[in-house]
Amino acid sequence: MNSALIIIDMQNDFCTGGALAVKDGEKIIKCINNAQKEFETIILTQDWHPQEHSSFASNHGAEPYTNIEMEYGSQILWPDHCVQGSTGANFHRDLNTNKSDLILRKGSNPKIDSYSAFFENDKNTTTGLEGYLIKKDIKQLYLCGLAFDYCVFYSALDGVELGFEVFVFQDLTKAIDLNNSKKIAKKSMIEKGIKLINFI
């Protein structure tokens, strides 16, 4: 009763054939659907970027995966992805979305990227998720989805920082693994007291 499953960014652009595909991203969907049977509260997050988003390399005439300094700090420049209303922004067709209590769209401010389900990357602008969870008396968060070393990682860090007990289903997520980011994320989560578990 006091736990919620948060399914992070299971969208076409992060799956095979997508603009920012995570290797084998869609292969975790069947198990994510099974995991939903164990939870009463289910939240889906959805990257929802305007075409002019500042995190897109194309808007800087730069190569994808290079870094740029923003007002809020260093920012990786990504290929255009999850553009509002596009097929790439849609949830993968195999994902069961019928049980979700909330669909939380993030990254819609063109000036700030948003990895975490709780805060945009300036760490000040909130998504409203914390208040929603508090109102439902949720104490424990179980995270899965894409990608382990970015949106799942930052959502987990913010969740534990806000006082929730956070678990990450390692077998229900996949990593981009850019510049050893998977190993770095895993180490950091363990140090912060986030529990890395398996669903199967």
The active-site residue out of 9, 13, 113, 149 is: 9
The active-site residue out of 80, 106, 113, 186 is: 106
- For residue 183, indicate whether it is catalytic: no
- For residue 149, indicate whether it is catalytic: no
Q: Are 88 and 81 in contact (CB under 8 A)?
A: yes
Instruction: Kindly state the tokens that stand for 11.
Output: 């969208």
CB neighbours (10 Å) of residue 82? Answer: 25
Q: At what angle do helices 151-161 and 181-191 cross, to 10 degrees?
A: 10
Q: Are 100 and 44 in contact (CB under 8 A)?
A: yes
Instruction: Kindly state the tokens that stand for 184.
Output: 């770095």
CB neighbours (10 Å) of residue 166? Answer: 24
The active-site residue out of 80, 82, 151, 182 is: 151
CA distance 83 to 90: 9
- For residue 9, indicate whether it is catalytic: yes
Residues with a catalytic annotation lie at 9, 106, 151
